[in-house]
Amino acid sequence: MTSEQTPVCRRVAMVSVHTSPLAQPGTGDAGGMNVYVLETAKRLARRGIAVDIFTRRTTASEEPIVEVEPGVVVRHVSAGPYEGLDKEDLPGQLCAFSAGMMRIEAHAPEGHYDLVHTHYWLSGQVGWLAADRWDIPLVHTMHTMARVKNLHRADGDTLEPRGREIGEAQVVEAADRLVANTVDEARELIDLYDADPELVDVVSPGVDLEMFHPGDRSAARAEVDIPDDAALLLFVGRIQPLKAPDVLIRAAAHLVRRDPSLRERLVVGILGGASGVAVKSPMALDRLAEDEGIADLVRFVPPTDHETLATWMRAADIVAVPSHNESFGLVAVEAQASGAVVVATDVGGLPTAVGDAGLLVDGHDPHLWANAFESILDDPALHAELSTKAVERSRAFSWEATAERLAAVYEAALATPRRASINDADALAGIPSAVIP
């Protein structure tokens, strides 16, 4: 194929059904995926690829169309009641959501979208229909996978439903390209979902290096009301068993029991809001802190904007990411870009995100986490070394690089004949009978 014949991607229909890229990360279902969708859309638009983001309308006050910046439009689609629906209720609204997308596209010129890029399995189900209807490629990013989450399920967390596993397997079969955040995630797609290795592309997420950067720690601490001489351990994320913020509290209590003088300066920051099963069955971290005897050392901070989040990270000595699983771990990279030392679970995409610029802990034993914290807090030279490495490592991750790789994936999808519809007998023959409804 000559360069003149190479397909060019001009406009993408990006789908994020269950959570809006405009929502505040850190509470409900809003998290790293929201950041990923919005930041990649902006960088793609700046490269000349216009992006329409389709998401479910959740309040009456939301405008049907919101222009984020030139080339990036968020389209709120009505599908079910605006409020009161959990993520688990949304499979019943996929038909309504798909119909809304079809109506919007029907008013556009023929061939308006060159490609559909979906995020999370619910969006993949919608995008599969749209791609078939519009005869354009489907690119899908899982972000999280039921079979992986069930393998690494936290105590108190619920199993992902079989319906999700079936839906994910269908999307994997239907997609023209699959985007994985890390090599490990690509391997999981291949091993657990029988994805074609030739169709799986690894594209690392990025970080906004203009927002997250090192700075004056004393000034940052003054801004968020933390004493200048404090030892600040920080958790950032949704409050749910999967993210395991309780590990930080238990480990901090071990530190104080080992060295009671630490009580005079230790501060444990928990920045985030309830999510997932914790909405209906709160994790009661405040009661845990009381039971562990460190309630006076723990500060609970509601989800905040990116600028304030970056200030908290610049103020922190250590940012803990004790998750039971992460497809990548945006918080870890944002923290490293801000100069904080990251201590994370050695699982999922976190080793890729953290590398040798932080410490990785095997499992969730609070004693082991306390050891990791102690090794950094007691050794200023090690802390300084890791902080410097963290900033240097974060420079390898940028949203511009992510968008560049996605654009290449889009071109590859456009240049390859579309896969057969999953409704075709040949396509169904390729899916294990256990996952065919």
Distance, in Å, from the CA atom of 24 to the CA atom of 312, rounded to the nearest integer, reads 16
Is 52 known to sit in a ligand binding site? no
Is 10 known to sit in a ligand binding site? no
Quote the crossing angle between the two packed helices 245-258 and 366-377, to the nearest 10°: 60
Is 24 known to sit in a ligand binding site? yes
CATH class, range 217-394: alpha beta
Is 30 known to sit in a ligand binding site? yes
Is 213 known to sit in a ligand binding site? no
Q: In 88-237, which ranges are continuous DSSP H helix?
A: 94-106, 121-134, 146-151, 162-174, 183-193, 217-223
Q: Average pLDDT of 222-235?
A: 97
Q: In angstroms, how far is CA 329 from the centroid of its own chain?
A: 7
Is 395 known to sit in a ligand binding site? no
**pLDDT tens-digit readout, 230-250:** 999 999 998 988 899 999 999
Domain boundaries, the chain: 3-206+399-435, 217-394
Cβ pair 87, 18 in contact under 8 A: yes
Q: Average pLDDT of 258-276?
A: 90
Fold held by 3-206+399-435: Rossmann fold (3.40.50)
Is 31 known to sit in a ligand binding site? yes
* pTM of the complete model: 0.86
62 or 226, which is more confident: 226
First to last CA, the chain: 40
b/e map 313-333, b = 16+ CB within 10 Å = bbbbbbbbbbbbbbbbbbbbb
Neighbouring-strand partners of residue 14: 53, 117
Is 334 known to sit in a ligand binding site? yes
Is 404 known to sit in a ligand binding site? no
**pLDDT tens-digit readout, 112-163:** 999 999 999 999 999 999 999 999 999 999 999 999 989 988 777 789 999 9
Is 29 known to sit in a ligand binding site? yes
- Flag whether pLDDT at 188 surpasses 60: yes
Is 150 known to sit in a ligand binding site? no
Is 14 known to sit in a ligand binding site? no
Average pLDDT, the chain: 90
Is 326 known to sit in a ligand binding site? yes
Task: Tell me if domain 3-206+399-435 and domain 217-394 are identical in fold.
Answer: yes
Is 170 known to sit in a ligand binding site? no
